[in-house]
Amino acid sequence: MEINNQLAIYVVSDSIGETAEQVSKAAISQFNIQDYDIRRFPFINEQRQILDLVEEAKHENSIIIFTIVKDCLKGFLVEEATKNNISIIDVMSPILTGFTKVIGTEPKREPGIIRKLDEKYFRKVEAIEFAVKYDDGKDPRGLKKADIILTGISRTSKTPLSMYLAHKHLKVANVPLVPEVPVPKELYEVSSAKIIGLTTNPFKLIEIRQERLKALGLKSEANYASIERILEELEYAEGIMKRLGCPVIDVSTKAVEESASIILEIFREKGHKFSNGKSF
């Protein structure tokens, strides 16, 4: 069979093949050549796939550049390409060998690790953006999309807990409970299984609110930090939480990490599954 003079660059990978493709483009740009075709063959995990692409490549003016990390598949690809006089370039092995010498341990040889890390990172970013968007009851529509809904009166750690749980890739919305402000109807429309109520000791809360007022340059004796107001709010919130039928956590003596751990334990006991596929 007559071989086409166009250069066919076979990009072969046991992951998505993006690394090998970028390397190929960088390399070919150094040559004065326009007649070439880069073809990506991702997720190669069987010898049969290698045989098929080699069979195609041997009838062309071709070169194979690959990022296969599994030794058995890599060896088979090199053997078949060599047998058919096809030029072949291993992108990863020289790099892995260099790192092995410096680090002193063998590589995992697991395909697509960087892609998995990227996906994990973007899930976290998405969860953080969600927590910011639906913080402090800004948009009640987010309650139906949330993995966890936190509710409680002011200064019961709703926002810090939302952000902490977001770093664990969970979508958290929070709703403040204020006697003068109607509870959003969406809070009653979602399952109580994903709602956590937050409460606190009234005298501890007085201290926290007084410090908050000072930070804002306001007088510490304002109604916001009075025992009467705080008891009224706590009683109101308790009634709402009973109506919702949700678990309630006292955060007065707990660090954010401890409260978050209790929340996750509650969901673990329920066998609840979150939108990221995790179950606790």
Binding residues for ADP: 152-159
Whether residue 166 contacts residue 172, with contact meaning beta carbons closer than 8 Å, is answered with yes
- Between CA 137 and CA 81 the distance in angstroms is 61
Question: 15-20 — which CB contacts under 8 Å span 24+ positions?
Answer: 15/42, 15/43, 15/67, 15/111, 15/112, 15/115, 16/42, 16/43, 16/112, 16/115, 17/41, 17/42, 17/67, 19/67, 19/91, 20/65, 20/66, 20/67, 20/91
What residues contact 28, with CB distance under 8 A and at least 6 apart?
Answer: 7, 9, 36, 38
Cα-Cα-Cα-Cα torsion 122, 128, 129, 135, nearest 10 degrees, comes to 160
Detail the residues annotated as belonging to a binding site: 152-159
- Going along the chain, which residue ranges are E strands? 4-13, 36-41, 60-67, 87-90, 148-152, 172-176, 195-199, 248-250
Place of tokens 């006089």: 85
- Between CA 175 and CA 250 the distance in angstroms is 16
- Going along 16-74, which residue ranges are E strands? 36-41, 60-67
What distances in angstroms separate CA 263 from CA 96, 118, 207, 255, one per listed residue? 42, 27, 25, 13
